[in-house]
Structure 1
């Protein structure tokens, strides 16, 4: 994927830059060219990564990374749907609503005396599920845990889907098969319809994706997931109450039903569907709340015991234990780093309240901690102090070495000097809107952009350019004689920068004439360009000022 030196047309609005008053045209916001028709641009906006999706921002971390991912998909995978795209999010929202409606209709459907009356409505939900299976063959997936990447290759998508959810999705969409052959046997129809329960895990996964994309809090996501699981349990409990009886009786309307079934005891065989559903739903709630008590109340020693009732007890206990352990372990077990992070944030909030910080400063501090720790707390220096020299060097090179190695002018340096430079780099974080340095201040360091966007301003306040991932700035004050900053720099987005102090620069990079000469030439070009734009902007301001005076 090569960067284009010409001025490309950006397909992204300025909205990504969080209210930054950008003076640059849209064509200068990205170095990745996407040339196609307006219709194709709209389609790309739907199927490529969505820059407003918090999951995409956490994965790619910068405007440059998001633009590069869009360019990669446009050039190499034009028919694939990105997992963090607008279209995929809409599909998941529609599918979650469709599945919840489908499961609810399923319980209502089998509460009737003759469920055949509304088979077409159930087949419509099967069609939605089949449509989702088809879309899944063209939707990429995120691979990896710590170093995540979006896989968009169609063959890899098919293999991954086939190994995971394809069989379950297909089994959940086969209830229409008996209707094709006019099969009315309940012992065949009911088990096939029961296969729809395989949709439940997919529904929970989609619900999590939607809540994350909508930036819901941890508490909100927890409540939504638990309530959805409880609701689905109750709905499927109602379905199985009827399905088990229908299969055991061999018919939806048996002529001589068994006296020990709950429908016979409640005398509901000839009642309306609404009454039958309400009664079954009440039983489901009772099973969920006090299963063992109801079991003693309904069944006498001389009567037959419903196998479904016993199974329901096991499922209820499993659901309750799962919900309890899931969220206890998420806070205290497998995600202990996140638990420490939340504890630390609470301490920071208490400190800010005690000091009576204004809301603006509170918000910036919390943003800083979120960016610095990525919702997990881990003391890296303790690990680095324990590992061997070689392993410590490998870890340091992984942290900042990739950024150093990718710079063309540093590739000629020996590997030992790469390690030396990386050990001198200091990670610094700036929140969107922070001033990194001001013009006419003494320059004591050079910055490498790891993730983020930085805007450079001239003396007159003209925005000169945007710098993205892999760029560096601040070198002019280090190589010119006056040692002062010739421009101001502001963090357009949240930025992760590596800082190289002046003494470290002079002790490493400046010792190599070729590399130092490259820095010096680039610094002179940037300085001249800034001066030219600054003079043009001053001229424009003088013209505007004269025009205003003439109108007075």
Structure 2
């Protein structure tokens, strides 16, 4: 079974389940012969969607949805790298780090290196990595955060990349090409110093992408909002200052002999003074009667904007410090402090922690505030969207009119169960039917013999809606799971105008129970 799917109590290798559905180990069907089978499977899993990716819980929040995406990937797009894979995640981290190193060091290197051949060697590892990054982009799917869709078709991937960063990534190799031409004597050093700065600036457009990757890294490693925005502000300040120094240095006239470390440091000192608004830029004005003062004014305006941006970013950090995520942390800490104060055992403390994390999933919301701020109609719409198609999977409900199904869905409530929680026991009288929204449950006989597992999308307890009979099995949460509950009294209230329909369903249900009693294994329909 792939590690990406494995959770506690999912291991059912010795159980021959009669429930419909594909086996979990889909990858074994595609890689089952040849040499190094296990190694090839591990490498392939690195290229498939992973539960560890921060966006996976948004794109595929349930095990069923995750399984469907793996199936789509392996069958329809086997040779494509999934954008929510571990390989894509770590490769983007590596490329992002390389870009940031280049943003900080490359302008200084371009300015002070007299030997262009040594400069090429210095930047060679980063340029090779970015070359591979361009190639990999043509074989990696695209995840749209806004639309919550994954594009896996090669033509659409190429089209999406061409519309975004392809041209800028290629033009970013301009300085390398110019240096190679200079080494061969095809262009002059002066031409390189005039054209290279423009090519260098083009690669800075990738900085927006780097910030997005850093946001993903924050979610993946679990950094707080406060630490992340402080790091981002510091990084922005460093990159902006280095870029401003480089722009000033390349804009002012030089003779070939003046391209030196000392000259660059003088311009760095002048640039920092103007940006920090402690000087008017006398060194800049020496560049010329017209061009120098104009450049000085532009840098003073830039310094003002720089101060304004810093102020806005600091205020943003402060507001985010008191944002929902930090309120969530405070609520969690308060709950755990209360549990500790009451002397609750460690086992229950862990269950409380798991419950809070499963319910809020890294975010925080106040349920009472949501109810007060939304209308009844809007709350019903939200409930209908979250329970879409779950009643259509119940064969017994096939003759219920669509409008009554909508009423049934709005009558449901949700509940969360943690691992090993008993949802109901055999021989108890049931009054509720359950629909699994996420997670999985274990079905056992009255003698605690394992029967099978039910995952998200399945239902159980339908007999409790129509017949006053004891439960046939035990249902225990195998993983933290969220279920929708439909009570018998609400079910009968919605269908009170359809006595014939209720009678037909009772007869059909009784027939199925009688048939199931002659089999060793109970059907999911009866639970």
Q: Report the TM-score when normalising by structure 2.
A: 0.78
Q: Compute the displacement of 1:130 (Å).
A: 3.6
Matches within 5 A, 1:177-216: 177-179=177-179, 181=181, 182-183=186-187, 184=189, 185=191, 186-216=193-223
The answer to whether the aligner puts 1:421 opposite 2:445 as a matched pair is: no
Once the two structures are TM-superposed, the CA of residue 464 in structure 1 deviates from its matched residue by 2.3
Aligned residues: 492
Tell me if structure 2 keeps the 8 A contact 1:62–1:453.
no
Alpha-carbon distance between aligned partners in 1 of 2:395 and 2:155, rounded to the nearest angstrom: 34
In structure 1, the partner of 2:51 is 51
Distance 2:229 2:427 in 1: 51
How has the CA–CA distance of structure 1 residues 60 and 360 changed in structure 2, closer, same or farther, with 3 Å as cutoff? Answer: farther
Question: Is 2:54–2:216's contact at 8 Å kept on the other side of the alignment?
Answer: no
Which deviates more from structure 2 when the two are superposed, residues 23-32 or residues 81-90?
A: 23-32
Q: Secondary structure at the match of 1:53?
A: coil
Q: 1:430 aligns with which of 417, 421, 431?
A: 417
Q: Which residue of 2 aligns with 1:498?
A: 484
Q: 1:237 & 1:525 partners in 2: Cα distance?
A: 80
The aligned runs of 1:315-354 (5 Å cut-off) are 316-317=306-307, 319-328=309-318, 330=320, 341=328, 344-345=331-332, 348=335, 351-352=338-339
1:371-415 Cα shifts (integer Å, max 9, x gaps): 43441425443355454xxx6654443232332234454343201
Cα separation, 2, equivalents of 1:468 and 1:525: 24
Matched, 1:99 2:103: no
Give 1:69 shift: 0.9
Q: 1:244 to 1:432 in 2, by over 3 A?
A: farther
Shift of 1:14: 7.8
Within a 5 Å distance, the mapping from 1:403-414 to structure 2 comes to 403-414=390-401
Given the superposition, is the C-alpha separation of residues 360 and 228 from structure 1 closer, same or farther in structure 2, using an over 3 Å criterion? farther
Which digits, 9 at most, give the CA deviation of each residue in 1:326-378, with x for residues without a partner? 4356567xxx7667656655654564455454554444334434443441425
Instruction: Tell me what 2:277 maps to.
Output: 292
**Distance change >3 Å, CA 238–CA 438, structure 1 → 2:** farther
- Deviating more after overlay: 69-78 vs 502-511: 502-511
Q: Counterparts of 1:392 and 1:113 in 2: how far apart (Å)?
A: 64
**Range with bigger deviation, 413-422 or 302-311:** 302-311
Q: Is the 8 A contact 1:30 1:67 kept in 2?
A: no
TM-score, with normalisation over the residues of structure 1? 0.75
The counterpart of 1:449, out of the listed 402, 421, 436, is 436
Residue 68 (structure 2) aligns with: 68
The answer to whether 1:464 aligns with 2:451 is: yes
Structure 1, unpaired ranges of 5+: 1-9, 255-268, 534-552
Distance 1:362 1:297 in 2: 65
Q: How many Å separate the matches in 2 of 1:155 and 1:437?
A: 51
- Residue 188 of structure 1: how far off its partner (Å): 1.2
Range with bigger deviation, 497-506 or 322-331: 322-331
- Over the aligned positions, Cα root-mean-square deviation in angstroms equals 4.0
8 Å CA contact retained: 1:51, 1:57? yes
What SS does the aligned partner of 2:476 have? strand
Tell me how far 1:87 sits from its aligned partner. Answer: 1.4
Question: Are 2:475 and 1:488 aligned?
Answer: yes
Deviation at residue 466 of structure 1 after TM alignment: 1.6
In 2, distance between residues paired with 1:252 and 1:530?
91
Q: 1:395 to 1:51 in 2, by over 3 A?
A: closer
- Cα offset, 1:450, TM superposition: 1.4
Q: Distance in 2 between matches of 1:403 and 1:322?
A: 47
The secondary structure found in structure 2 opposite 1:429 is strand
Q: Which segments of 5 or more consecutive residues in structure 2 lack a partner in the other structure?
A: none
